[in-house]
Amino acid sequence: MQRILTTLAFGLAFAAPVMAEGPKVTDYDGSFDDATFAVESAIVGQGLVIDYVSHVGDMLNRTGSDVGSDVQLFENAQIFVFCSAVVSRQVMEADPMNLAHCPYGIFVSEGTNGVQVGYRDYPRGSMQAVEDLLAGIVAEAVGD
């Protein structure tokens, strides 16, 4: 039994998924409104359609007192939600469970660190095409 458990533990150590690191964030040299316009333009410029804009900053500011908090997390924060048929098909053909990562989002926030643009980091490997897409959109939006 000990041998089976040792073999199983050894196998799981090498079979563990490669985890994402955290959000990829880039400072934006300009106003929040300019940043949101730049992100929207960069997404649409890739031939993509924005499915939804989440006004998460407004929601957090509006509901803070309802949940017993007086902390203002952001002056402004929005998330642009969209998908790419080409990239989504590519990553889901590599692993159908990449469905869990779709749709994709790019956020713009304004707070104590100024205006920032970023996106969620995805697991290494089959999601690299999504990382590349999002990195390119953010680079275009921030002027890199």
Q: Is residue 116 part of a domain?
A: yes
Q: Is residue 32 part of a domain?
A: yes
Q: Is residue 97 part of a domain?
A: yes
**Residue 56: CB partners within 8 Å, gap ≥ 6?**
74, 77, 78, 79, 107
Q: Which of 48, 137, 31, 37 is closest to 88 using CA atoms?
A: 48
* The pairing of beta strand 104-111 with beta strand 76-83: antiparallel
Q: Is residue 5 part of a domain?
A: no
| Distance linking the first and last C-alpha atoms of the chain | 57
Question: Which tokens sit at 38?
Answer: 């730049």
For residues 6 and 135, which has the higher predicted lDDT (pLDDT)? 135
Averaged pLDDT, 125-142: 96
pLDDT tens sequence across 9-58:
434 343 444 555 789 999 999 999 999 999 999 999 999 999 999 999 99
Tell me the C-alpha distance between 89 and 28, whole Å. Answer: 31
As a whole number, the mean pLDDT across the chain is 88
Q: Is residue 4 part of a domain?
A: no
pLDDT tens sequence across 71-98:
999 999 999 999 999 999 999 999 999 9
Q: Is residue 54 part of a domain?
A: yes
CATH classification of the domain holding 93: 3.30.310.70
Q: Is residue 11 part of a domain?
A: no
pLDDT tens sequence across 53-77:
999 999 999 999 999 999 999 999 9
Q: What are phi and psi of 82, to 5 degrees?
A: -160, 175
Domain, as residue range, for 130:
18-142
Q: Whole-prediction pTM value?
A: 0.83
The total domain count for the chain is 1
Q: Where are the alpha helices (DSSP H) in the chain?
A: 2-15, 32-45, 56-63, 85-94, 128-142
Q: Is residue 10 part of a domain?
A: no
